[in-house]
Chain A
C-alpha cells in the first residue's frame, strides 16, 4: 500500500470514530508500547453498567492506531504525523471549496492532533459567523473542552472560548449560567494541570461578566479549593480580582448604597485576612499566602482604615479609625513575632516562613501612606527585619541589602518632609 492512500484512510477512520461517539470527553496520545497495558486493564476490569465496550482500530500491520473506551480516546503516537498532514491538506482543500461541514470536520480532526494550529481555529470561526446560530456557538464550548483535555494550556482553545462568549453575550439568556460553568471548568482543569496561567487568566477574565452576587458566590465557592492548593498563586490572584470587583461595585454605587453593604464588604475583607492568617499558620512557608496578605493589608488600610474609604462622613470618626489602625498594626506585629521563630528541626519551611513574614513587613512599611505609616515605623525598626532576613536566608543577603536600603531611604524622606 502506498503511503498516501494509507494516510487518506487514516483521516476518514479518525473522523468516523469521532462521529460514531460524540460523547468522547478525553483524548490522549499513547505510545504503542502502552496499548498493551491499556488492553490488559480493559480485559480485567468489570464491564460498567452502561455496557461500555472497548473499540480498537488497528493498522494493516496489526498495530493499534485508535483505542476508545468509556469515551476516552487514545491515539497512537505513531499515526500523529501522517494524520496531521492529511487533516491539514484536507482542511486547506475544504477552505478553498468552502463546504462548511468539511471545514468543521477536518479542522476538528486537525485540532485534536495539533491544538496550536491557529488557521484551523480561524476556519471554524469563519463558519460560525456565516451560520450565525446560537447552538453552533455553544457546540464550540464542548469541542474546545475536548482539546483542553489533552492540551490544558492551549492558548488558542482558551481564546476561542472567550471569542465564543463575546460573540453570544447579549444574545443569550443563559449567559450567567455559562459564566458559572466556565468557572467550574477552570477549577476542574486546574486540578490536574497545576499552576496553569492560561486557565486562571480565563477565570479572571470571566469576572467582568459576573454580577456582584455572582462574584460574592464565586469568592465563597473558590475558598475551599484555594485552601487545598495553597501553592497555586493564580487562585489567590483570582480571589483578589473578585474582591476588587466587589469593592469597585461599592465605590460606583456609593451614593445610594446602604451602609449595611459597606459593613458587609468590611466584614468580607476581615474574614479573608483571618482566613489567610489561619492558612499561614497551618501551611508553613508558602509564598502565595504571604503575597495575598500584602494585597489584603494594603487595601484594608487604604479603604477601611484611612481617609480613602469613600464612606460618607468617615472623617468624623477619625479617632476611632486611628485606633483601628493601631489594633491592626499590633496584630500584624504579633503575627511577625510568631512566624519569625526558627526551630532547629524542620529548617527549610520555617526559614521560608520567617523570610516571607519579614519581607511582608518591609513591604507594608513601604506601601502604607506616610501619615499612617509613622506608627508602624516607630514600632518596627528596619534593622531588626534585616537581621531576621539574614538569619533566615543568608543566601539572598544582597537582595535584602537592597530592599532594606530602599525602605530606609523612603523612611528618611518621610521624616524630612
Chain B
C-alpha cells in the first residue's frame, strides 16, 4: 500500500494559502477568515470577511481557530455566546442568522460553539435535542429539517450535537449504523448519499458518525484507508475527492482527518464530535493541560 505523503501535503496547503488573487479566492472571500477582530460585529457574531454580515457558520470557525491556538480569551466570550444563543427558536431549532433559515447544521454549530465557550447553559439544550430528533427519518438518518432527506453531512451534525450534549442514547444506533455502513462502496470509499460516487470528504462525515455511535466495525476500515491514500498526489502533495482528480485544501483536510480517525500511524488523533485535535478538546472541555 502507498504511504501518507505528509511532508508533501504540508507544502501543498502552504502554497494554497498564498494564492490570494485566483478567481476562487476572490469570489470566495466571504469564507476566508483573515483578521478575526475585523470580522466581528456589534451583535457578537462573525462575518466571513471584513464587510460581510455575521453568520453562525463563521462564528464557529472563529471560535475553532482561536481554540486551536489557545487564544479563546481574546474574545468577548459573553457577547459571542449571547449572539449564538439568540439564534435559538421557540421549537429548539437554530437559525443561521437573523434571516431565519433553519437547519440542523446550525444546531450543531451552536452547540459545538457554546460547548467550546463553556456556555451551553445559555440555550435550552433539551429543546435543541428534541428538535434534532424530530429530523430523524425512517431510514435512521437525519436531514436539514423534519422530513428532509438523509445526508451524511447532516447526520454528522446531528450525531455530533447529540454526542456533545450526551444524548446519543436517544437514537437507534443500529438503524443509523446500517444507513451509514451502506455508504461504503466496493472501492472502499464512502459516499454521502445513496447512488452517489465515493468522496474523501464524506469519509469524514460518515466515519466520525460511525465512531460516535460505536459502529465503526461495521465497515471495512482497511479498504477505506487504502481509498484515501489512493487519492493522494504523491508528487505535488494534496488529496482529492477521488483517485486521479485534482487536489484541493478541503479534501486534503478531510482526508487527513479521516486517516486520523482510522488511527493511521503518525497522524495526531482528532475528536470525532468537535473536529478538533483530541488534546485541544481535552484542554478546553476537560481542562486537562497537555
Contacts and interface: CB of A to CB of B under 8 A. Distances in A.
Interface of A: 77, 80-81, 84-85, 88, 92, 113-114, 116-119, 122, 125, 159, 162-163, 166, 195, 197, 200-201, 204-205, 207, 231-234, 237, 241, 244, 286-288, 291, 294-295, 298-299, 359, 363, 366, 393, 395-396, 398-399, 402-403, 406
Instruction: Name B's interface SS.
Output: loop
Given A288-B195, A396-B186, A84 B27 contact: yes
A122 B30 contact: no
Interface of B: 21, 23, 26-28, 30-31, 47-48, 51-53, 55, 97, 99-101, 138-139, 143-145, 147-149, 151, 174-175, 178, 181-182, 184, 186, 193-196, 215, 217-220, 223
Contacts of A395: 186, 223
A288 B218 contact: no
A80 B27 contact: yes
A109 B193 CA distance: 35
B51 A92 contact: yes
Given A163-B100, A201-B144, 18 more contacts: A80-B27, A116-B30, A118-B97, A159-B101, A163-B101, A200-B149, A204-B148, A233-B194, A234-B149, A288-B195, A294-B138, A299-B138, A395-B223, A396-B186, A396-B220, A399-B182, A399-B220, A406-B178
B196 A195 contact: yes
Contacts of A232: 195
Contact of A237 (B21, B149, B182, B215): B149
Given A287-B195, A295-B138, A204 B149 contact: yes
A233 B195 CA distance: 7
9 contacts: A84-B27, A119-B53, A163-B99, A195-B196, A204-B149, A299-B138, A399-B182, A399-B218, A403-B178
Nearest to A405: B218
Given A195-B196, A288-B194, A298-B138, A125 B219 contact: no
B139 A295 contact: yes
Nearest to A82: B26
Output the residue of A234, A295, A399 with the most chain B CB within 10 A: A399
Contacts of A287: 194-195
B27 A393 contact: no
Nearest to A348: B186
A117 B26 contact: no
A98 to B, nearest CB: 16
Contacts of A88: 51
B101 A201 contact: no
Contact of A398 (B48, B143, B175, B219): B219
B30 A291 contact: no
Nearest to A155: B101
A81 B22 CA distance: 9
